[in-house]
Chains A and B, each alone.
Chain A
Amino acid sequence: MKQLFFISVAATIALPALANAQNSAWLQDRSRAQGPGFRLGNLELHPGFGAEAGYDTNVFYEDSGDGPRDPVGSAIFRLTPHLFLSTLTQERTQEGEGSGSSGGPMVQFQAGVSAEAYFYLASQAKNNVALSGDFDLNINPKGRFGFRIYDDFRRRIRPFTGRSDDRRRNYAVDNNLVGASLIARSRGGLVQASLGYAFRLQYFESNTFAYANQFGHQISGDVHYRFLPSTSVFWDGTVDMTDYYNADAGSAALALANNWRLRTRVGLNGVITPKLSATAAIGYTATFVDDPAFDDYDSVLALAGLKLRLTPTVTLDFGYERENKNSIVGLYRTQDRGYLDFQWLFGGSFLLSLNTWVARMKFGEIFDATGMSLGQRNDVYVSVRLFGEYRFTDYLALNATFAYLGDFTGFEYQVTDATGMAIPDPAGFNKVEAWLGLRVFY
């Protein structure tokens, strides 16, 4: 049983995780976090608790040497309880507990809540609790017509930018994404199309950053034409409107303007041979800014990646991506990224994963609150994350995480010191994190 669950975990963590160095690694993929679970009728309940100790060399993303303040390192303790609820997972339905039902279930549902309590030993950082809650209801997921409704709330509390003084600020930011989509499939599932709407909100709890609060409307659609063995030709497109509803706040460090972004692409995705999968897509994006002071922008999008299954338990992903993203700095950024992900499951009990990417980022022109141009910003961003976990039993695991983030840029913000004098603050940083912890789960 343990091996089965762990293999299923290994199969899923190769998928795009919301992986970042800020959260507990296992929380970023639900199937990784949960064990066999308690069965409650047609539902499964998965509780868990983790305790970790770690060290962050640069809590406030500060530049070493050239900035007005030196990076602050801190030991951190993190406690992470979670509770997940879902309809029966694939492991159960395939192991004979699915009461012999044929076909897929009419309803798939999953929900979860988790918290991460951070305790910093450095006095400059504030102890706080991050929260997450989500649900995802999928009606008739395998039928001709389906409907999906979902919500994802996250409260992050870890610092995300530099300091201008020694006060302990509140860096909490709340993100919520709620949406619904209609899904239609041809009789045999050869063609699948979906159309959805989502509303997103980003809310900085501190007045200091309130000027960057934003909400957005997002309309998205996609069409997939599937063929054997497990491959599809697809089109997807998104229209995304961003509204900085608090941009005139007195604390504003930047001038922000409402904008909307169009994004569309076509491509191929899926299995080529049992050992090789590929993704290739090309598209177009355009950003239109309401304020004529900002330039509109358009560009080509691209995605090309390969996934090699070196052995049944070893996978290697690598590729290139050109994307355009929403950004507070510059309103948008274009990033050319190369990525490499490696995963190794050993003996059904030990999992090792490496996620790395290097990106060249180019931001839109940046204006300060007075409308003065701060010029363009170009970054080279490096992210490396190494995660290992050993499962002693079905419910107890030891894990370790090492992460490096580096931002190499010549761009400098203008901040004011206590006397009101403007001083440059380099935007680059280097940050290393290391964590070691135990977790129990079921």
Chain B
Amino acid sequence: MSRFKRVLHTLVLTGLLASASYGLAVAQGEEDGAGDPEGSVDAQRRANLSPEEQLEEAHRIIVRGEDLSRRVQAMLDEARQERDIIRVTCVNDKLTQVNANLRTAQQRFEQLQDAVEAQDSSRRNHEYTVILVLGQKFVVLDREAAQCIGQDIFETGATRVLTEIDPGTPDDDPTLIYEIDDPPAPFIPPPRSGDR
């Protein structure tokens, strides 16, 4: 093989390896969320909000959390009425998490209000960021609660049995038992002579 060809092959191989490495890196970046920086950008953008806007946004997150808590509570009641123990366990777990996060969010909201009043911007942004993270947690819990599955995934419902009978099968009534006819005349002696 000539030197020129070896150099050419080396370049082609190098090019292929570089392309593959780049593609792999891009794909991995997307999997890691590097391709979807919306959350951080969004948080960053909202962190730059004015204190009043942060309070308003934080209040909306808490209202969403309260709504979510009520809805999951309703789902739990429904599952209990249906005596669906599997779904009860799942929804109850989500409700516990929602309520815990809601309490944290409410505490953080009070601290946010304090920070706004104290005009402590770094603490204010910190509390607001925590509330944003709790809001994202509500979104995740909402989805997970909705995905709680019950016994119906394991049960096929009321059993329906379809029976096919050969159309040629006689429909004789089985409650009628075959009876053979009796002799046509009673067994009785002939009359005595002179009887009327």
B176 an interface residue at 8 Å Cβ cutoff?
yes
B41 an interface residue at 8 Å Cβ cutoff?
no
- Would you call B166 and A274 a contact (CB within 8 A)? yes
Contacts of B165 in A (CB 8 A): 228-229
Contacts of A416 in B (CB 8 A): 192-194
Q: How far is the CA of A226 from the CA of B169 in the complex (A)?
A: 15
Contacts of B170 in A (CB 8 A): 230, 271, 274, 277, 309
Q: Which A residues have a C-beta under 8 Å from some C-beta of B?
A: 15-22, 61, 158-165, 169, 173, 192, 206-209, 212, 222, 224, 226, 228-232, 234, 236, 251, 253-254, 267, 269-271, 274, 277, 279, 281, 303, 305, 307, 309, 312, 317, 319, 321, 325, 327-329, 333, 337, 339, 355, 357, 363, 381, 383, 405, 413, 415-418, 420, 425, 427
- Would you call B190 and A164 a contact (CB within 8 A)? yes
- Would you call B178 and A22 a contact (CB within 8 A)? no
Q: How far is the CA of A234 from the CA of B173 in the complex (A)?
A: 13
B7 an interface residue at 8 Å Cβ cutoff?
no
A165-B193 contact in complex given A192-B175, A230-B174, C-beta closer than 8 Å = yes
Q: Closest CB-CB distance, A89 to chain B, in whole Å? A: 15
Q: Closest CB-CB distance, B21 to chain A, in whole Å? A: 70
Encoded as 1 (CB less than 8 Å from any A CB) or 0, chain B from 154 to 188 comes to 00000000010110111111111111111111111
- Would you call A413 and B190 a contact (CB within 8 A)? yes
Q: How far is the CA of A309 from the CA of B195 in the complex (A)?
A: 52
Q: Closest CB-CB distance, A131 to chain B, in whole Å? A: 17
User: Which of B166, B176, B192, B196 meets A15, CB within 8 Å?
Assistant: B176
B37 an interface residue at 8 Å Cβ cutoff?
no
A164-B193 contact in complex given A224-B174, A317-B178, C-beta closer than 8 Å = yes
Select from chain A the residue with minimum beta-carbon distance to B177.
Answer: A269
- Would you call B179 and A16 a contact (CB within 8 A)? yes
Contacts of A15 in B (CB 8 A): 176, 178
Q: How far is the CA of A270 from the CA of B174 in the complex (A)?
A: 5
Select from chain A the residue with minimum beta-carbon distance to B167.
Answer: A274
A413-B189 contact in complex given A270-B172, A325-B182, C-beta closer than 8 Å = yes
- Would you call A17 and B189 a contact (CB within 8 A)? no
Q: Closest CB-CB distance, B107 to chain A, in whole Å? A: 60
Q: Closest CB-CB distance, A438 to chain B, in whole Å? A: 23
Contacts of A21 in B (CB 8 A): 184
A230-B169 contact in complex given A18-B181, A303-B178, C-beta closer than 8 Å = yes
- Would you call B190 and A161 a contact (CB within 8 A)? yes
- Would you call A161 and B185 a contact (CB within 8 A)? yes
Contacts of A281 in B (CB 8 A): 177
Q: A16-B178, A270-B174 are in contact. List 13 more A-B contacts (CB 8 A).
A: A22-B184, A160-B188, A161-B189, A163-B191, A224-B174, A229-B166, A254-B189, A269-B178, A329-B187, A405-B183, A418-B194, A420-B193, A427-B187
- Would you call B185 and A229 a contact (CB within 8 A)? no
Q: Which chain B residues (33-47) contact chain A, with CB distance < 8 Å? A: none
- Would you call B193 and A22 a contact (CB within 8 A)? no
- Would you call A163 and B174 a contact (CB within 8 A)? no
- For the complex of A and B, 10 pairs with smallest distance between CB atoms: A20-B184, A160-B185, A270-B174, A162-B190, A16-B179, A232-B174, A208-B191, A164-B193, A329-B187, A22-B184
- Would you call B180 and A357 a contact (CB within 8 A)? yes
Select from chain A the residue with minimum beta-carbon distance to B176.
Answer: A15
- Would you call B190 and A163 a contact (CB within 8 A)? yes
Select from chain B the residue with minimum beta-carbon distance to A309.
Answer: B170
A415-B178 contact in complex given A20-B184, A228-B165, C-beta closer than 8 Å = no
Pick 18 A–B contacts, CB within 8 A, sort by A: A22-B184, A161-B188, A169-B191, A207-B195, A224-B174, A226-B175, A228-B163, A228-B165, A229-B165, A230-B173, A232-B175, A234-B175, A251-B191, A271-B174, A277-B170, A321-B180, A327-B186, A416-B192
Q: How far is the CA of A118 from the CA of B168 in the complex (A)?
A: 44
- Would you call B177 and A274 a contact (CB within 8 A)? no
- Would you call B180 and A16 a contact (CB within 8 A)? yes
- Would you call B196 and A333 a contact (CB within 8 A)? no
Contacts of B187 in A (CB 8 A): 327-329, 333, 363, 427
A207-B196 contact in complex given A17-B181, A231-B174, A269-B177, C-beta closer than 8 Å = yes
Q: Closest CB-CB distance, B84 to chain A, in whole Å? A: 28
Q: How far is the CA of A417 from the CA of B168 in the complex (A)?
A: 63
Q: Closest CB-CB distance, A343 to chain B, in whole Å? A: 13
Q: How far is the CA of A289 from the CA of B196 in the complex (A)?
A: 30
Select from chain B the residue with minimum beta-carbon distance to A20.
Answer: B184
- Would you call A251 and B189 a contact (CB within 8 A)? no
- Would you call A415 and B190 a contact (CB within 8 A)? yes
Select from chain B the residue with minimum beta-carbon distance to A281.
Answer: B177
Select from chain A the residue with minimum beta-carbon distance to B196.
Answer: A207
- Would you call A383 and B183 a contact (CB within 8 A)? yes
A329-B188 contact in complex given A230-B170, A277-B172, C-beta closer than 8 Å = yes
- Would you call A274 and B190 a contact (CB within 8 A)? no
Q: Closest CB-CB distance, B184 to chain A, in whole Å? A: 3
Q: How far is the CA of A19 from the CA of B178 in the complex (A)?
A: 13
- Would you call B180 and A209 a contact (CB within 8 A)? no
Q: How far is the CA of A230 from the CA of B176 in the complex (A)?
A: 11
Contacts of A327 in B (CB 8 A): 186-187
